[in-house]
Every structure is written in C-alpha cells, then in structure tokens.
C-alpha cells in the first residue's frame, strides 16, 4: 500500500492548489462579492463565456472527484442511495446529490452557494441530462439553459452543426446569462479571454507531447489529471491559467534537460521500464495507491484519453478570439466524450505509435457509460492495429466499494509480466525496445 509520507509536490502543483483554494473561497463568499453562480460540466464547458459575464462556475463532477480524494464520497453516495438512487447510477451523480443533501459543503469544507443558473452543455454523456433533472428538482425556480451539442456521428464537424450551436448560444444561453446577471454580452471581453485560452492550450500541448521523449519527463495520466485541472475548469481564459502553464512548462523543460523521469507522490521515478497508453478515467478514492502500483512497476503513462475529456487540443483545436461563438461551438463538439468510437480508436492508435508505447491499458469504470461503452471493441482494435499487449482492469470513480487494491495489483502484475516477456522476445529477434 501507499507510503504515508508526505507527497512530493512541484511549484506548479502548489500554484494550482492555491488557485483552487481561492476559487472555492470565492464561491463560499459569492453573495458578499456580488457574484452570480452557474453550475455546469467539464466536457464542452463554456468557461470563457461564463467569465465574460463575471459569473463563478461550479463543476459538480469536480466536487465529486475532490470529495473522493478526500475520502468523503462514500458517505455522500450512501445518502443518495437511501434516497432511491440505484447502485448502477454514475457515482459522480450520487456523490454530488449526497453532498447537497448534507448542506452542500464543498471539498474544502466551505459551503457552496446555490446556483443562479443551471447550464447544461450536453456533450456525449446522457447522464448529464438526468443529472440536471435532479439539480432542477433540488433547486426549484433556478433557470436552466441547455446547449445541445450534435454528436460526431460521421466523424466530422459540419457548418450546419456549427451554425446550429451558434444559434443556441445567441438565442438560448446568452439571453439567460444576460437576464441572470443584468449585464449585456460583451464579445470583446469574450475574445480577450480566448486569447489567454489559446496561450494556455499551446503550453498544455507542449507539456503533454513532452512524453514522446525517452524517458518521459511526465506521467500523462496520474500527473496529467493535475495538468488539465485549470484549463478544463474555472481558469481557462484567465491570466492565472497562463501563468500556471508557463511555470509547469518551465519545470518540464528542466526535467528534459536533466534527463529525468516523472515526479510522483512517492518521489522521482528513477527508471522507465514500460510506456503505456491509458483509456478511461482514474479511480479517485484510492488515487495515490493506484498510482503507486505503476510507480513500483516502473510504468509511465505517456498518453491518455481521460486528459482529453475537456478538449483534444493536441489534435490542433485552439479557441479562436476572432470567431468566439463559432470557436466555443467547435470546442464543445470536439471533446473526447463527443467523438464516435472509430474516432476514439484512431486517436488511441495514433498515441500508441507516436509515443512508442509498450502497451495499451483500459481502466473500465463501473458506473461511467460514456467511457465504458465500446471499450472491449477498442481493446481488440488496438491489439490488431498496433500489435502491443492490451490490458483491462476495473474500478470506479468515487465509490470505494468498487476499488479492489489486491485484484487490480494482481491483474497489473500479470500484465507487466506479459510486457516484459514481449520485450525479451523482441530483443531476441533484434528489435530495439
């Protein structure tokens, strides 16, 4: 199990912690600050638009994962199940509902304000619709704005789809934001925020793509969830996000210069034995123990799909200050959860090859249909296309009942033995590994 010693933290992690602490503190004081509050979701979020109206965003799934990491989610989930929510319901939802039933005390111990607007930007996860139905019942009378995002059925974003999205922004979302805040929409302010978004996105891509090096200076899954935090949530479009990613990129460059591997909670990874591509979200209730299994095996995640759930920036998308509403629309349609299964397979195949991965591993989440649907097909396709060994483990998002440390460790040990055996065979055949 994980060593109880204090986790190793870099300067960028401290900066991010302070950013999050301020965000939750500002939320707890929203009424005194005269700020309106909007509840919304991470995939396909409209953070720049929210900030252009000087509103404060709340992300229920971030509250849930933070509660999971702080060992608070189990009690919240039990409360929601007593209320009638099934064991099969997304545990993010149950954690969020349970938190609200217990006074809506956020992960930092400060009470979160009631929403002034519920903003649903639907992007490929049907659960979001049902989640908002629950929020609407919990907060009767709060206005709801829905932005329906077309699914990329044919793998392309068309002009008709973009026009449809912009129409909704102009006729449904923006008017409700104007009514809630009493402010007129300011396109120039939105464009200025998007300038910062593009700068941060450029830096994030450099950071993630640094994992193409050997050894990789980062872990793109466990550490990656920290890296994506500011840009996927309340800080995209802010100067503080640009400052954070500038500092993080500086740290990564230094690690590249020194030929160092990733920093983990257990310390620096001394030897990179295995390079993996990972599909699916991580487990949050036992996050450090989960990461330590990989650390002990010398395994580094060099690319992951979860770190694209709030934007697939490494495939070229950037928020465009010159076309802000069109840009928001294309962003919503392009996040990972809105890609069809062939697109996901193509992306993962590209990662395996470009990052020279030794294997592909799926962490299948019991209650997350948005990720779990099609994963066995994805696994077979990647094995056929790349020839690398594939692995499959199961856990959950924030329900500790579905994280079996011994079972996952045993499965991973068997998987890494398979990777090692393949390396031996390749060496015998004269193939560089």
pLDDT of residue 397: 94
Q: In this structure, are residues 408 and 400 in contact, taking their beta carbons and an 8 Å threshold?
A: no
SS3 137: helix
pLDDT exceeds 80 at position 10: no
Name the band, by pLDDT with cuts 50, 70 and 90, for residue 325: very high
Do the domain assignments include residue 114? yes
Do the domain assignments include residue 170? yes
Return the structure tokens found at 248.
């993080």
Burial class of residue 29 (count of CB atoms within 10 Å of its CB; 0-12, 13-18, 19+): middle
Do the domain assignments include residue 347? no
- Model confidence pLDDT, tens digit, residues 48-83: 999 999 999 999 999 999 999 999 999 999 999 998
pLDDT exceeds 70 at position 4: no
Do the domain assignments include residue 132? yes
Do the domain assignments include residue 292? no
Q: How many domains does the chain have?
A: 1
- Model confidence pLDDT, tens digit, residues 150-172: 987 788 999 999 999 999 999 99
pLDDT exceeds 70 at position 408: yes
pLDDT of residue 108: 84
**Of the ranges 6-20, 80-94, 155-169, the best mean pLDDT one:** 155-169
Mean pLDDT of 346-350: 98
Q: Show the domain range for 169.
A: 30-182
Q: How far is CA 157 from CA 161, 326, 342, in A?
A: 7, 11, 15
Q: Report H helices in 182-334.
A: 187-209, 224-232, 239-258, 287-297, 324-334
Do the domain assignments include residue 151? yes
State the DSSP code for 218. S
Backbone torsions φ then ψ of 144, nearest 5 degrees: -120, 130
Do the domain assignments include residue 334? no
Cis before 357 (ω within 30): no
- Model confidence pLDDT, tens digit, residues 219-249: 999 999 999 999 998 999 999 999 999 999 9
pLDDT of residue 1: 40
Q: Which long-range contacts (CB under 8 A, 24 or more apart) does 15-19 make?
A: 15/243, 15/244, 15/247, 16/226, 16/229, 16/230, 16/244, 19/230, 19/235, 19/240, 19/244
pLDDT of residue 278: 98
Residue 392 pairs with which residues in a beta bridge?
362
CATH code of the domain in which 99 resides: 3.40.50.11890
């Amino acid at each position: 199990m994980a060593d109880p010693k204090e986790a190793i933290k870099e300067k960028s992690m401290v900066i991010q912690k302070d950013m999050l602490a301020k965000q939750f503190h500002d939320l707890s004081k929203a009424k005194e600050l005269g700020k309106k509050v909007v509840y919304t979701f991470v995939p396909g979020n409209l953070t720049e638009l929210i900030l252009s109206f000087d509103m404060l965003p709340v992300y229920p799934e971030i509250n849930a994962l933070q509660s999971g990491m702080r060992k608070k989610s189990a009690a919240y989930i039990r409360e929601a199940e007593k209320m009638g929510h099934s064991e099969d319901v997304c545990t993010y939802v149950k954690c969020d509902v349970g938190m609200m039933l217990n006074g809506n005390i956020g992960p930092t111990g400060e009470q979160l304000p009631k929403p002034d607007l519920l903003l649903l930007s639907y992007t490929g996860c049907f659960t979001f619709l049902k989640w908002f139905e629950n929020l609407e019942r919990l907060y009767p009378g709060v206005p709801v704005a829905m932005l329906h995002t077309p699914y990329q059925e044919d793998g392309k974003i068309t002009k008709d789809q973009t026009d449809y999205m912009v129409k909704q922004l102009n006729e449904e979302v923006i008017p409700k934001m104007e009514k809630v805040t009493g402010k007129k929409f300011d396109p120039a302010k939105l464009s200025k925020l998007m300038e910062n978004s593009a700068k941060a996105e450029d830096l994030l891509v450099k950071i993630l793509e640094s994992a193409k090096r050997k050894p990789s200076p980062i872990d793109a899954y466990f550490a990656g969830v920290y890296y994506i935090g500011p840009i996927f949530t309340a800080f995209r479009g802010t100067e503080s996000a640009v400052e954070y990613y500038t500092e993080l990129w500086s740290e990564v460059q230094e690690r590249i210069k020194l030929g160092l591997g990733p920093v983990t909670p257990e310390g620096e990874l001394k030897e990179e034995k295995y390079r993996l591509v990972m599909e699916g979200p991580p487990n949050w209730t036992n996050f450090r123990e989960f990461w330590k299994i990989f650390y002990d095996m010398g395994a580094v995640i060099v690319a992951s799909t979860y770190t694209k759930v709030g934007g697939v920036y490494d495939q070229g998308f950037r928020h465009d200050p010159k076309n802000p509403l069109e840009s928001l629309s294309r962003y919503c349609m392009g996040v990972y959860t809105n890609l069809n299964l062939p697109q996901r397979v193509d992306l993962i195949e590209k990662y395996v090859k470009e990052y020279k991965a030794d294997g592909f591993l799926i962490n299948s989440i019991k209650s997350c249909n948005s990720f779990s649907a099609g994963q066995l097909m994805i696994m077979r396709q990647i094995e056929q296309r790349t020839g690398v060994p594939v692995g499959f483990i199961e856990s959950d998002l924030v329900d500790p009942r579905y994280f079996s440390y011994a079972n996952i460790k045993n499965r991973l040990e068997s998987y890494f033995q398979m990777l090692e055996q393949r390396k031996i065979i390749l060496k015998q055949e004269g193939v560089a590994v």
